[in-house]
Amino acid sequence: MIKIVGAKLPDGNVIDLDIDNQKIVKIEKSTGNLSAGAVDGRSKLIIPGLVDMHTHLREPGREDSETVLTGSRSAVAGGFTAVSTMANTNPVADNAGVVEQIYRLGKEAGLVDVNPIGAVTNGLNGEKLSEMGAMADSIARVRIFSDDGKCVSDPLIMRRALEYVKTFNGIIAQHAQEPRLTVNAQMNEGSVSARIGLPGWPAIAEEAIIARDILLAEHVQSRLHICHVTTAGGVELIRWAKQRGIDVTAEVTPHHLLLTDDLVENYDPIYKVNPPLRTQKDVMALREGLAEGIIDIVATDHAPHPSEDKDCEFHAGAFGMVGLETALSVVVKTMIQTGLMDWSDLVDRMSTRPAKIAGYPTQGREIAVGMPANLILVNPDQEWIVDKNKLKSKSKNTPFNGLQLPAVVTDVFHNGEHVMKNRQILNAKEGSYGE
């Protein structure tokens, strides 16, 4: 039995809450009395655990960047109780064997739900559909499929994928990037790229695929999810699709809610990301789209790389940023502190809605008796300074190093287990708390 005392719900009610056998078994108005062994929730918010629909954990194949265990620790530190892991591993997660391996590694780590995403095409090569049915029937029960890192650019392959996943209520998560328009592209196409001489990545390369796939999804009556939207035009296309009743959802990353392409002027590969950082106009459109609900969710696109892949010339640097441990704080800074959203909205965009889209029945549930105990405690008033060397991720490629951010996750409860206690994470393999 775990008792949490004095935690505040987003609606302002202060409660005591009991957890037993993986579920919430009792909720009552707080007495404020902290009994021996109880978890001190005073001055903290209690909300459902965060759910990330877009994480790269690199294992198998690039364990120098991240492993399922180190990525799970990073996820817990950021307040996540479930992550969906992208398929661009080595070997690619395009068959039942690989997704089951990742699923078992997640179970072994025991810190968060690790849900593998299956590739749409064999080897991410865009030419032949993967074994989606076998992955859906595997113990991993895969329902999300994506070639993220690459676009499913062939419209016929994309149509066939959308048709196929209808048989088991799956969803295709598209990395919207027209490859012919982004050959050798390094950053957003605009005044900054022209001034500093880097090949540009036009907004239309993203928007053309979004528009095409919205029409394909409408044509075959299937589910489409747009990964990491970055442009104002993309937001408007998704708005149009929703007004027509097309079954499309979309995500935005924390870094695209805060960072802009002018940061690339110093040629630091830490700001090199796919899709690229865009303009301030795009950033404001993304914020407004998220606040309005046109963009459904926040997803981290946590993309770890070893230092040698970022400590180099810009054109040689790898695309991507780590994001699991800073995501909540960046969203608080860009959306709550600006008055665009409140904490209930944040719970919807970072827990409830991603769990619903992904089909995770034990995640993102309301805080009520009988519900699964996937919960976090957050001190909304505490600030912290990002120190890349203290990140739990194996990689340190954060663009936020040295930045002061609001809100600190102090405790995480995963399936009723207290997996982070006062910022100390349980090491599942060693069975002890520690850094």
Q: Tokens representing 387?
A: 């120190």
Contact 237, 203 (CB under 8 A): no
Cα–Cα distance for residue pair 420/410, rounded to 1 Å: 7
Q: How many C-alpha atoms does 188 have within 13 Å on its Cβ side?
A: 23
- Among the listed residues 52, 94, 148, 301, the single catalytic one is 301
Cα–Cα distance for residue pair 404/383, rounded to 1 Å: 7
Question: Is 345 annotated in the active site?
Answer: no
List all residues 6 or more positions away from 202 whose beta carbon is below 8 Å from its beta carbon: 181, 182, 189
3-state secondary structure of 270: helix
Contact 56, 66 (CB under 8 A): yes
Q: What is the per-residue DSSP string for 164-203?
A: HHGGGT-EEEE----GGG-TT--EESSHHHHHHTPPEE-H
Contact 395, 78 (CB under 8 A): no
SS3 of 376-427: the string is EEEEEEEEEECCHHHCCCCCCCCCCCCCEEEEEEEEEEECCEEEEECCEEEE
Q: Which residues are catalytic?
A: 301
